[in-house]
Structure 1
Amino acid sequence: MKQFPVERKALWHRLFSREKIRQGTVRLMKQLRQDNHRLYVYTTSYRSPAYVKRLFLSYGIRIDKVINKNTHDKILGKRAGSISKYPPAFNIDVHIDDSPGVAMEGEEHGFRTIIIAEEDGEWTETILHQLAINKRL
């Protein structure tokens, strides 16, 4: 199980969900929105897109699109079983993840990734720095 500091939850957050989001997520996503990035959540879970959107909205973050396992399987068809995530199928330019396996898939299938290590205490800065580099490419 991944261990990292999490965002503080108000009482009404706790009533809505037991899920926690990584500390810095709110600030980062608001910065990305301000920089005119679209915000997608691509998850291998079966949580409904409506649930995921409400979870983030409870922190003041509007998510543009949620791709869950059902959507992934439907769009990728037979190929879905051989790749955990394939951002190009959903017009995602850069995929941010914490799984080195997704980085390997990105290299193999030609999509850009930014992989954040669990122990990276400056992970939000890492993402913003890598996005700035990607923008120049």
Structure 2
Amino acid sequence: MKVSFDLDDTLFVSEKKFKVEPALSFPWNHIYKERLRAGTIDLMNYIRNAGIELWIYTTSFRSEKYIRGLFRRYGIKLDEVVNGKRHADEVQKGHLEGMPSKYPSKYRIDLHIDDDISVAQNGRTYGFKVFTVGAQDDEWANKIISEIDKIMTRKKEEKR
């Protein structure tokens, strides 16, 4: 199974509007200024410990090295990163018609987590599963775990 997360306003949030994980220590807090939504570290550790592939899928043009480095500082190993450049090269390239801003099914991602309602709408149109997160919600990670469990149960039943 593969699960991907958007960055901006999904995992990277404003500490003025959201509860956040503790900031990285010096000097990393000057290199990686983004703040992670509270619960991100435990959620990602749960995903890794369950043997699920952990991806970042963002329209941001932050480099893969930067994204991996930030999560590594929090003790999180990512399996793959799809940033704006990779998406343009691998999804948009060669298509005359406009493709959605994210297309997780291209990478066989089972569940994508995003804050953008248009990504969820594209999921219904293009056939990929999106879990939408929004404003501050202390239960957001538990809701995602529940959704992951449903998908894993369904996959096991399909194999029978």
TM-score by structure 1 length? 0.92
Between 92-101 and 33-42, the greater mean CA deviation after superposition:
92-101
Residue in 1 aligned with 2:22?
8
Contact 2:112 2:130 in 1 (8 A): yes
1:101 and 2:125 matched: no
| Alignment size in residue pairs | 137
Contact 2:19 2:136 in 1 (8 A): no
1:135 and 2:149 matched: no
Contact 1:72 1:80 in 2 (8 A): no
Question: Could you tell me how far apart the structure 2 residues matched to 1:11 and 1:80 are?
Answer: 46
Residue in 2 aligned with 1:20?
35
Shift of 1:80: 8.1
Structure 1 stretches of 4+ with a deviation exceeding 2 A read 10-13, 78-82
Where structure 1 has 5 or more consecutive residues not aligned to the other structure, the ranges are none
Return the structure number with greater helix share: 1
Shift of 1:6: 1.1
Quick one: which amino acid aligns to residue 18 of structure 2?
F
Q: 1:79 to 1:8 in 2, by over 3 A?
A: farther
Among 6, 23, 38, the alignment partner of 2:53 is: 38
Higher relative contact order (CA 8 A, sep 6+): 2
Shift of 1:125: 0.2
TM-score by structure 2 length? 0.79
| Paired-residue identity, % | 34
